[in-house]
């Protein structure tokens, strides 16, 4: 202990001494600017501008005639005259109408639809919707795609995502809606492992409540929807 103390004091003394010893050299340090040169300013002599030389036009070499390339190009100008006449007067085609919705019956060919039983029609959940892949308990409810459009729009508007992540986050929730459009149950089916994100999903459902009333000709009193909330980093 005593030895360590002495060693520490000795080191401190050395540092302080070194500081004092080197300080005089610091002040004497001067910048060497080299030889001083005195300069006197005087007017510049007048120069007469030289006569401009006659400009001779540049000789542009003739472009070499391009040889037709072997690559076939789908250019109407390169087509024979008869073909062009055909294509010019053709009226602008009307915009293609969207394929009308075909009600999907529970007995229908599921493999043809490419969706699992109860999976909500793609047109209602795709197109950048964060709710793609939603599943409804009662598959016959898929006859009413407007309901999903409206309900998911409300949820989307009510959703305040509290999380930013560099990886994708998914929380799957389940909720039930009765005939009047009131939500009677909501729960996290599969957690995202981020409590704030899960809470935000449930809060969005509660804020979106009430949902549009179930269609009059839909006989069931209640529907249950499994809805994935997805966050993907941009």
Q: Nearer Cβ to another protein, position 184 or 196?
A: 196
Closest CA to 213 of 147, 167, 126: 147
From the list 53-61, 80-88, 111-119, 208-216, the region that binds another protein by CB under 8 A is 208-216
Cβ atoms < 10 Å from Cβ of 104: 19
CB of 104 to another protein, least distance (A): 11
Contacts of 120 (CB under 8 A, 6+ apart): 134, 135, 136, 142, 148, 225
Distance CA 212, CA 218 (A): 13
Distance CA 204, CA 230 (A): 13
CB of 150 to another protein, least distance (A): 5
Q: Kindly identify the residues of this chain, within the stretch 89-128, that bind another protein according to CB under 8 A.
A: 94-95, 97-98, 100-101, 123, 128
CB of 14 to another protein, least distance (A): 20
**One residue of 8, 162, 220, 222 binding another protein per CB under 8 A:** 162
Q: Kindly identify the residues of this chain, within the stretch 131-160, that bind another protein according to CB under 8 A.
A: 143-146, 149-150, 153-154, 156-157, 159-160
Q: Nearer Cβ to another protein, position 172 or 177?
A: 177
Query: Total binding residues for another protein by CB under 8 A?
Result: 38
Asked if 166 interacts with another protein (CB under 8 A), we say yes
Distance CA 142, CA 121 (A): 7
Q: Nearer Cβ to another protein, position 137 or 143?
A: 143
Q: Nearer Cβ to another protein, position 213 or 224?
A: 213
> With 0-12 CB in 10 A as exposed, 13-18 as middle and 19+ as buried, what is 216?
exposed
Cβ-contact 221, 178 below 8 angstroms: yes
CB of 207 to another protein, least distance (A): 7
- 119 in helix, strand or coil? strand
Contacts of 148 (CB under 8 A, 6+ apart): 120, 121, 124, 125, 134
Q: Nearer Cβ to another protein, position 106 or 162?
A: 162
Asked if 80 interacts with another protein (CB under 8 A), we say no
Asked if 196 interacts with another protein (CB under 8 A), we say yes
């Amino acid at each position: 202990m005593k030895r360590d103390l002495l060693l520490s004091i000795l080191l401190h003394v050395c540092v302080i001494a070194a500081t004092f010893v080197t300080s005089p050299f610091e002040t004497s340090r001067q910048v060497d600017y080299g030889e001083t040169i005195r300069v006197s300013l005087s007017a510049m002599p007048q120069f007469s501008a030289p006569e401009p030389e006659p400009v001779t036009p540049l000789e542009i070499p003739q472009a070499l005639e391009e040889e037709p390339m072997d690559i076939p190009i789908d250019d109407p100008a390169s087509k024979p005259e008869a073909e062009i006449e055909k294509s010019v007067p053709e009226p602008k085609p009307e915009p293609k109408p969207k394929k009308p919705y075909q009600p999907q019956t529970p007995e229908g060919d599921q493999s043809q639809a490419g969706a699992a039983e109860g999976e909500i029609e793609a047109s209602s959940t795709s197109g950048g919707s964060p709710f793609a892949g939603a599943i409804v308990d009662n598959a016959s409810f898929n006859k009413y795609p407007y309901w999903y459009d409206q309900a998911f729009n409300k949820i989307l508007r009510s959703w305040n995502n509290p999380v930013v992540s560099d990886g994708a986050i998914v929380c799957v929730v389940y909720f039930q809606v009765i005939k009047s459009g009131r939500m009677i149950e909501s729960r996290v089916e599969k957690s995202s492992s981020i409590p704030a994100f899960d809470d935000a999903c449930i809060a969005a459902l509660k804020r979106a409540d009430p949902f549009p009333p179930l269609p009059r000709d839909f006989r069931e009193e209640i529907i249950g929807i499994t809805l994935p909330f997805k966050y993907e980093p941009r």
